[in-house]
Amino acid sequence: MVEKIICYDNKQKADHERLKRTRYPHLTEVIKENSRESAQKAASILKSGGVIIYPTETLYGMGTLALNDVAVEKIFQIKGRPEGKPIPILVRDKEMLSKFAELTEASHTLIHRFLPGPLTLVLLEKEKLPGLITAGTGKVAARISRHPFVRSLFKLIDEPITSTSANISGEENLFNAAAILDRFEGKIELIVDSGNLPPSKGSTIVDLTVKPPLIIREGDISKRVLEEFL
């Protein structure tokens, strides 16, 4: 018996993918970070209320538009994250951050020295965010990412996105797209594949709403280095 080999041209491949998604609408799409369409596709999904997983300079993040209450609730359901545990956000730049958080002298210093980069600032909330983001604390945890994909994405959207790690709450971090797909297939719309990310402790988190400032978590920026600027 001779095995029949079917070769598809580009149009046939596209038609095949559309048919597959019609039959199986909950499949998760994976797109390479360096694809020309990656940021555009991610932005489109976010604007429609969907959930993506995307690379940062620390970990893969699970993202949706942070001002969309329903979409943020999906993040909690997908991760099994307890309500009452705030979710950090990514902002495009200092200007966007200032719309949602009260900037202090200490925050200006840390932004100038460490951001964009692996530092999350906990600041007093300025503009009302969904309750699930802040857990009713009146505080918001935010950072500015230097990752090229995130920078490209923020050219297409004009509001913060969630930046919780792409794992089940309480489980270990996942550093490659294949493992993430195994865990979240059918639960999210898109994975932006940047390959295997280097090992990371995540971003360092510092609470600037208390005096003296409190380092909540030591991540890729060491406590010793950070304390020089506090």
- Strands of the sheet with 29-32, listed across from one edge: 29-32, 190-193, 52-55, 60-63, 164-165
Q: How confident is the model at residue 1 (pLDDT cuts 50, 70, 90)?
A: very low
pLDDT tens for residues 71-113?
999 999 999 999 899 999 999 999 999 999 999 999 999 999 9
Residue-range domain boundaries for the chain: 28-227
Question: By percentage, how much of the chain surpasses pLDDT 90?
Answer: 84
How many Cα atoms sit within 13 Å of 114 on the Cβ side? 26
Q: Is the pLDDT of residue 206 over 60?
A: yes
Q: Report residue 142 CA to chain centroid gap.
A: 11
Q: Can you tell me the mean pLDDT for 139-146? A: 98
Q: Is the pLDDT of residue 2 over 60?
A: no
Rounded CA gap, 82 and 95, in Å?
A: 31
- In CATH terms, the superfamily for domain 28-227 is DHBP synthase (3.90.870.10)
Q: Tell me what the pLDDT averaged over the chain comes to.
A: 90
Environment class of residue 10 by beta-carbon count within 10 Å: exposed (0-12), middle (13-18) or buried (19+)? exposed
The confidence score (pLDDT) of residue 55 equals 97
The confidence score (pLDDT) of residue 40 equals 98
